[in-house]
Chain A
């Protein structure tokens, strides 16, 4: 809500006023009509959302403390006892000193036994303090570790349920920054925050007890004149600290995002000798992180000294006013000295308070940033269109109907699919063809609800609206080979048997056979236990693709979607896989996307997508007879073949 403080100081007065108004509106959480449609509206909405997230974040935090209240109570108790012992030990020492000084003056003689006793008490107390201190750290900081853990867990659990559209907006590096850097800031704020808060309260309490016993009212009031100024200072600074710390965290996330991308794309960078340019790009981001740190450093560097400057003013007042009063006999010398001690006692907790405020601001920033992820809602979930999902749909038969399906990607103009009307009979194989970017993958995305249709009724499976089928059941019923063959850095067996239950080795091997990758795998020294690098970097393109096919086949789902899954395999292998697929396809609804006629010729129905619509539809022979787009495509590949074969025959 105050992240505008930074830019606010640079702009004119009018800008400042506008910002302030925006800030106030954001606090009230309403968007007045007059700014509807202006860029301010967007800004305001964002801010309102941030405020909401922060509030929810606070809720989480309070909830956490409530859940761990026993731990926290004991922790706070431990801090209090540490403080108490820190006060008691000097008193005992003081007693001994008094005794010794009396002894030295010859007034009385302390027995060696008593002296030894007291010395042992001091050591004993320090042991007790060790225990208390240990528990304090263990309980309070341990709790903040748990908080960090719990938040990270929550973050990931949310992340993994978020729809893919979220990951189109947010980069992996940014999310990594949240999970490491921001959570760390939050942990520090919570761990140290509570410790400092308790310390400050205890010490302030002790100070005030001392005050009521030893000091007169007017002097006390005089000494406390600077305190309100301190509050003002803290209040004023906290906005700056917040805004600037936010910048630091943001630029760090940029950095992380850049590095993550750079390393992931290092093969391209090296192939195209872009290292120097990348270094230059990185440097820019690195520098902006540096600039943000410097700006942050500046407020931080001025904050603490100013705070102690104001608190020193208490001394000054005491020195001047108290001194004069004492000279005139208005107060006693003892009272003057006592006031001195009193201020000394207050200075430390006040500096704690300063640190506390600072930590809190940083924690708040991080909490808001984390909240943006934790309180994000998935776009796709059961019961999204108001109707409850049907119970246990079981194994679907795979009759799919499209009724006037239209779709556009969120935040993009233009319909990718528009007015799609067709039906896929259960157990048949349908092929999707079309130019690059004609919407074939989109089709598959919609069927799996990776993206969601606009209205109910556009896609039905077995007569159920697709949004009425529970998401998990729907996806359980679909075997899918993605176009970009993604594999995890685990063993090959893990990647093929990729499911919660896992599969017996036989089935894994079987699936590998069907997808014709078994032979390859067996040639690796570690066979199915071969560990893959990230994204399967240590496999060839065709090997990756066939492992992805195996991963889909093993599922034995009634609906199978193969998205251009033979693009990287040689013709011989393709042929063999197709033959294997013929068995697999029996009794299954199969949707094959491909650019190669050879892959799809046998399909029961071929759908040609063009200009967001179905341009042609029918069997291979029908479409060839039609003499349209498909026929042209077929001929194009046929001509090649004749040319080659002709050439070869001659």
Chain B
């Protein structure tokens, strides 16, 4: 039979993209980060201008103070002009106040623009990722842990926000400053300027080294964070089992391992960055020493004036300050790059696009045909082997078979969740690979074997977010006999349902998901063990309710209990992925083969 064999091996690798691949993506990642920001370039430009103004204002302040000092010195020498100078001081005070006020306003606007724009970028990005995830092709979810996707959509997007609030604009400002200072330095004295430039390769080498190391560690940090979320999401869901089996201590240890790995990676980051950043200061110190030494020698030899050396000292300070800033930001940048990589790789994952030349389904009649269908989830572990059958519009089909025979798989294929390897499936005579799959799904009402409820209330769990009259919701609930327990709830249809609906009984959950399937008045009804958790009385009532409803609809029922399938027009007996027998109950019993064996057992 088939082999499930994917599970964790595959899923974990999702968070461990190789370093080789990383390098390749390196430049692209930066481009991506800028791409997200591109639509907002006027805002960033404005912010940059404001930031530059702020820097300018910062430079004006010492100037005003300098003027004041000159004035005071002048007054001390010429006491006669004191009155005049007093008013000058007041004037300067006013200018100073104005400057401070301007800084306040500009400071507010630049910071706000950056933060707000960044928030918007993050919102848009998150929106984009989430939208993409909704369209991902189905098998992806089989092998991707929930926590991993949550981390990408929520945490990784968050992680790049600092890139836009702190880094982007300051990056430009710093680059401007650096370029400006370099030009000035070369204009003043080439020899000293070259001396300062000597250290640049040193910085470049350090930066490259840092980048390689930091990238690797950041990639692991993000992966470990995802691992924490994966672990949490799974174990919170399974908490009851953990407690019932007294596994708390073992699980504590397991979590400690995951948690500790995250700590270790973070510690590595501290070491790397703890060396890198101070190293840049050493480089700056070397530059200063070089200037002093060369300059000092120059002065001794009377080749350079003292003023030049003094100026250079100041400029080298101004040269290294923005470099230090950039260094400080480099951490954020690397971390953001890694996150944007992770987001982009998710965005590149294939979606279940409609084929370009798909055929309109139009009004669905409800004919389904499997023609020599072969299907395997993994490799060549065939779950369905050469399955062929046709369901005519309005026909009631039942599929029976031992567990693991592939019944649920057939349902998944009808809904287009997986691609088949061989053969073809037709809906209303059109190949399933050539139709708009969402249109088809809309026409199919399914009760899945694994029930899922959403946070909200009873009503939204039945109609979901479709525009459906409350009366119809009520009617659907009545049809499947769910109304009985709903009416007993304090708020009835408005009763809140918590996440997963854990405060309802299993049978109640199943009834709700049953109501959900019929409320949309689907052409095709697919019931995968829809009443497995329901008592006989309720099931009887449901069956009576369904009788009318099924009239004229195509229906496919999977059940183990004969009582559930007795009304079927035709029964397919699935055995090890093949259709072994098919026919009405009477026919199959007369055949006295597999079906007969199975059901004479049940009531012997």
Partner-binding segment picked from B109-117, B353-361, B363-371, B385-393: B109-117
User: How far is B464's CA from A281's CA once the two chains are assembled, in angstroms?
Assistant: 11
Partner-binding segment picked from A15-23, A37-45, A62-70, A326-334: A326-334
| Contact status A568-B449, CB under 8 Å | yes
A-B contact count (CB 8 A): 554
Given contacts A526-B5, A539-B4, contact A500 B246 (CB under 8 A): yes
| Contact status B103-A309, CB under 8 Å | yes
| 8 Å CB interface, A129-184 against B | 129-130, 133-134, 137-138, 141-142, 145-146, 148-149, 152-153, 156-157, 159-161, 164, 167-169, 171-173, 175-177, 179-181
User: How far is B164's CA from A297's CA once the two chains are assembled, in angstroms?
Assistant: 13
Which residues of the partner chain A approach B90 to less than 8 Å between Cβ atoms? 320
Answer yes or no: B421 CB below 8 A from chain A CBs: no
| Contact status B123-A287, CB under 8 Å | yes
Given contacts A541-B408, A541-B449, A575-B601, contact A327 B289 (CB under 8 A): no
Nearest B residue (CB) for A120: B289
Which residues of the partner chain A approach B185 to less than 8 Å between Cβ atoms? none
Which residues of the partner chain B approach A161 to less than 8 Å between Cβ atoms? 248
| Contact status A488-B234, CB under 8 Å | yes
Answer yes or no: B325 CB below 8 A from chain A CBs: no
Nearest B residue (CB) for A546: B403
Which residues of the partner chain B approach A271 to less than 8 Å between Cβ atoms? 415, 441, 444, 446, 448
Answer yes or no: B274 CB below 8 A from chain A CBs: yes
Given contacts A161-B248, A171-B499, A648-B585, contact A266 B273 (CB under 8 A): no
Answer yes or no: B189 CB below 8 A from chain A CBs: no
Which residues of the partner chain B approach A300 to less than 8 Å between Cβ atoms? 111, 115
User: How far is B248's CA from A32's CA once the two chains are assembled, in angstroms?
Assistant: 41
| 8 Å CB interface, B232-279 against A | 232-252, 255-256, 259-260, 262-263, 266-267, 270-271, 273-275, 277-279
Which residues of the partner chain B approach A459 to less than 8 Å between Cβ atoms? none
| Contact status A290-B120, CB under 8 Å | yes
| 8 Å CB interface, B113-151 against A | 115-116, 119-120, 122-123, 126-127, 130-131, 133-135, 138, 141-143, 145-147, 149-151
Cross-chain contact of B146 among A105, A118, A264, A598 (Cβ < 8 A): A264
| Contact status B236-A175, CB under 8 Å | yes
Cross-chain contact of B267 among A142, A169, A255 (Cβ < 8 A): A142
User: Closest approach, in angstroms, between the C-beta of A261 and any C-beta of chain B?
Assistant: 6
Cross-chain contact of B602 among A172, A323, A324, A571 (Cβ < 8 A): A571
**Among B228, B499, B533: residue with most chain A CB under 10 A:** B499
Nearest B residue (CB) for A289: B123
User: How far is B65's CA from A532's CA once the two chains are assembled, in angstroms?
Assistant: 72
| Contact status A130-B278, CB under 8 Å | yes
Answer yes or no: B384 CB below 8 A from chain A CBs: no
Cross-chain contact of A595 among B133, B465, B503, B536 (Cβ < 8 A): B536
Cross-chain contact of A100 among B64, B252, B295 (Cβ < 8 A): B295
Cross-chain contact of A137 among B233, B274, B402 (Cβ < 8 A): B274
| Contact status A305-B299, CB under 8 Å | no
Answer yes or no: B455 CB below 8 A from chain A CBs: yes
Which residues of the partner chain A approach B292 to less than 8 Å between Cβ atoms? 93, 96, 100, 115, 118-119, 122
User: Closest approach, in angstroms, between the C-beta of A462 and any C-beta of chain B?
Assistant: 19
Nearest A residue (CB) for B75: A327
Nearest B residue (CB) for A149: B263
Which residues of the partner chain B approach A483 to less than 8 Å between Cβ atoms? 506, 533
Answer yes or no: A476 CB below 8 A from chain B CBs: yes
CB-CB contacts of B39-81 with A at 8 A, as 1s and 0s? 0000000000000000000000100110011011101100000
Name the prevailing secondary structure of the B interface residues: helix
Cross-chain contact of A472 among B237, B246, B532 (Cβ < 8 A): B246
Cross-chain contact of B69 among A104, A315, A333 (Cβ < 8 A): A333
Answer yes or no: A278 CB below 8 A from chain B CBs: yes
User: How far is B119's CA from A261's CA once the two chains are assembled, in angstroms?
Assistant: 24
Cross-chain contact of A304 among B107, B289, B295, B533 (Cβ < 8 A): B107
User: How far is B414's CA from A270's CA once the two chains are assembled, in angstroms?
Assistant: 13
Nearest B residue (CB) for A596: B561
**Among B104, B135, B151, B235: residue with most chain A CB under 10 A:** B104
Nearest B residue (CB) for A329: B76
Answer yes or no: B217 CB below 8 A from chain A CBs: no
| Contact status B100-A261, CB under 8 Å | no
User: How far is B292's CA from A450's CA once the two chains are assembled, in angstroms?
Assistant: 76
User: How far is B103's CA from A308's CA once the two chains are assembled, in angstroms?
Assistant: 9
Answer yes or no: A280 CB below 8 A from chain B CBs: yes
Which residues of the partner chain A approach B122 to less than 8 Å between Cβ atoms? 290, 293
| Contact status A637-B563, CB under 8 Å | yes
Given contacts A137-B273, A323-B68, A450-B240, contact A122 B288 (CB under 8 A): yes
User: How far is B242's CA from A482's CA once the two chains are assembled, in angstroms?
Assistant: 12
| Contact status A434-B535, CB under 8 Å | yes
| Contact status B112-A301, CB under 8 Å | yes
Which residues of the partner chain A approach B444 to less than 8 Å between Cβ atoms? 271
Q: How many positions in chain B have a CB within 8 Å of any CB in the partner chain?
A: 194
Answer yes or no: A60 CB below 8 A from chain B CBs: no
| Contact status B404-A531, CB under 8 Å | no
User: Closest approach, in angstroms, between the C-beta of B419 and any C-beta of chain A?
Assistant: 15
| Contact status B299-A103, CB under 8 Å | yes
| Contact status B400-A570, CB under 8 Å | yes
User: Closest approach, in angstroms, between the C-beta of B293 and any C-beta of chain A?
Assistant: 5
CB-CB contacts of B264-308 with A at 8 A, as 1s and 0s? 001100110111011101101110111011011101100001100
Which residues of the partner chain A approach B381 to less than 8 Å between Cβ atoms? 525
| Contact status B455-A171, CB under 8 Å | yes
| Contact status B466-A595, CB under 8 Å | no
Cross-chain contact of B299 among A104, A149, A304, A596 (Cβ < 8 A): A104
Answer yes or no: A97 CB below 8 A from chain B CBs: yes
Cross-chain contact of B93 among A133, A296, A316, A567 (Cβ < 8 A): A316
| Contact status A647-B3, CB under 8 Å | no
Nearest B residue (CB) for A167: B239
Given contacts A269-B134, A436-B533, A489-B8, contact A573 B120 (CB under 8 A): no
User: How far is B598's CA from A115's CA once the two chains are assembled, in angstroms?
Assistant: 101
Answer yes or no: A298 CB below 8 A from chain B CBs: yes
Answer yes or no: B540 CB below 8 A from chain A CBs: yes
User: How far is B73's CA from A263's CA once the two chains are assembled, in angstroms?
Assistant: 74
**Among B96, B108, B134: residue with most chain A CB under 10 A:** B134
User: Closest approach, in angstroms, between the C-beta of B373 and any C-beta of chain A?
Assistant: 18
User: Closest approach, in angstroms, between the C-beta of A169 and any C-beta of chain B?
Assistant: 7
User: How far is B153's CA from A97's CA once the two chains are assembled, in angstroms?
Assistant: 56
| Contact status B72-A534, CB under 8 Å | no
Which residues of the partner chain A approach B602 to less than 8 Å between Cβ atoms? 571-572, 575, 598, 641
| Contact status B89-A644, CB under 8 Å | no
Cross-chain contact of B310 among A97, A110, A260 (Cβ < 8 A): A97
User: How far is B417's CA from A337's CA once the two chains are assembled, in angstroms?
Assistant: 77
Answer yes or no: B82 CB below 8 A from chain A CBs: yes
Answer yes or no: A283 CB below 8 A from chain B CBs: yes
User: Closest approach, in angstroms, between the C-beta of A148 and any C-beta of chain B?
Assistant: 7
CB-CB contacts of A507-547 with B at 8 A, as 1s and 0s? 00000000000001001111000111111011111110010
| Contact status B281-A167, CB under 8 Å | no
Which residues of the partner chain B approach A289 to less than 8 Å between Cβ atoms? 123
| Contact status A277-B464, CB under 8 Å | yes
Cross-chain contact of B536 among A293, A569, A633 (Cβ < 8 A): A633
Answer yes or no: B1 CB below 8 A from chain A CBs: yes
Cross-chain contact of A134 among B145, B275, B450, B516 (Cβ < 8 A): B275
Cross-chain contact of B538 among A112, A436, A574 (Cβ < 8 A): A436
Of the A-B pairs whose beta carbons lie under 8 Å apart in the complex, a sample of 23, sorted by A's number, is A104-B306, A119-B290, A129-B281, A152-B228, A157-B252, A167-B236, A167-B502, A176-B150, A179-B232, A256-B154, A259-B130, A301-B107, A305-B108, A316-B100, A323-B72, A324-B89, A328-B82, A437-B485, A437-B508, A482-B241, A534-B11, A571-B601, A595-B539
Further pairs besides A482-B244, A649-B589: 14, Cβ < 8 Å: A101-B310, A134-B278, A172-B236, A261-B500, A263-B150, A312-B96, A333-B72, A500-B247, A520-B403, A540-B404, A546-B403, A555-B245, A571-B560, A637-B536
Top 5 A-B pairs, shortest CB-CB distance: A542-B403, A531-B7, A648-B589, A305-B107, A436-B507
